[in-house]
Amino acid sequence: MQPIRFTPDVEQVDPDEQRLTREIVEQMNATARNAFERHRHAHRDAHAKSHAILKGSMTVQDGLSAELAQGIFASPKTYEVVARLSSAPGDIHSDEVPAPRGFAIKVIGVPGDRLSPDIGGENQDFLMVNFPVLAFGTIPKYKQMLGLLEKNAHAPDFFQRLVAGVARGAKDALEAVGKVPSATLEGLARDNNHPLGETYHTQAAVRFGDHVAKLSLAPKSRSVRDLTGRDLGDVQYSTMRDVIGNFFRANGAEYELRAQLCTDLETMPVEDAAVLWEEEKSPHRAVATLRFDSQGPYSPPRQVFGDDVLSFNPWNGVEAHRPLGGIMRIRRAAYERSSAYRHTQNDRPRIEPQALSDIPD
């Protein structure tokens, strides 16, 4: 099947969206204020706990077909990148608590019409999680689930481990009788596999030049492919940071950035990020390779810079990769407010790096 052409009407804005957005952002703001009082330090509303800040490069493949040679992937080129690996909750928890993991990428020095000129810089951010869909794929569903998500994020660690254990049991029971677990159950039933062996997804759609796509990031080099599905066993408070640091002290890694083009808006909707785009309709196809050499990914200066100075925002980028769908639209308001609050409360400037040399070693 041929990929659909991007036009503005691939998005369908709910008439109640502005009101729901205001209510959600205000609820998130109240939660952020409470978290600041507990920690006396402002963290991100989501993916608060980082595990590594990586410096690397992204090389766009030569000879891409016309439908893949789009946007920043239109011609072969190598960009500098910085990545932040994290856990999804909006509070700091022990790594004993299974949680979705994040892999945020900032591509440095990308020309093009800016989506958010006020942010400054010329970078392109792609934010990914190690699960292909969201349990709350629309803004109304997100509003319904927000309270539960925030309560779980701030619940005691032992309670979260209990919830994850029960969810894994329910997931296994469904799969044993041939049924597919829901996205909500899948999200709660996370395990503690090695984060460097995971495949990460934008979950929601983005414009892909003349087309529409979801992006994914998959292990490419054997060094990280060998980590796929590897259970970490005895997990402690900061095991994710430690295993990533131990790996990069002795190894480099390569990942494949892939595009899954939308070929049918009915079965591959833009407005519901809970719907899985079936690979039978459109496979994930490689467009670039990310490389990270051996390095120290979490020195104190790099951690502080990554957590308190850097921001990652799906709306920090170029028009050719505009985020699409309700979940992406609400992120525009939510991420900007979160970043402004964090930088103000921590008295840190917001800096968009112009080169990897801006990132501390």
Write out the DSSP string of 5-21.
PP-GGG----TTHHHHH
**What are the pLDDT digits (tens) for 99-151?**
999 999 999 999 999 999 999 999 999 999 999 999 889 998 888 877 666 55
The angle formed by the CA atoms of residues 9, 333 and 284, to the nearest 5 degrees, is: 55
Q: What domains, with CATH codes, occur in the chain?
A: 8-349 (2.40.180.10)
Do 51 and 87 meet the contact criterion of CB atoms below 8 Å apart? Answer: yes
pLDDT at 165: 45
User: Which range among 82-96, 132-146, 346-360 shows the weakest confidence by mean pLDDT?
Assistant: 132-146
Mean pLDDT of the chain: 90
Residues above pLDDT 70, as percent of the chain = 88
pLDDT at 190: 62
The rounded distance, in Å, linking the Cα atoms of 361 and 359 is: 7
pLDDT at 240: 97
**What are the pLDDT digits (tens) for 228-276?**
999 999 999 999 999 999 999 999 999 999 999 999 999 999 999 999 9
3-state secondary structure of 112: coil
166 pLDDT exceeds 50?
no
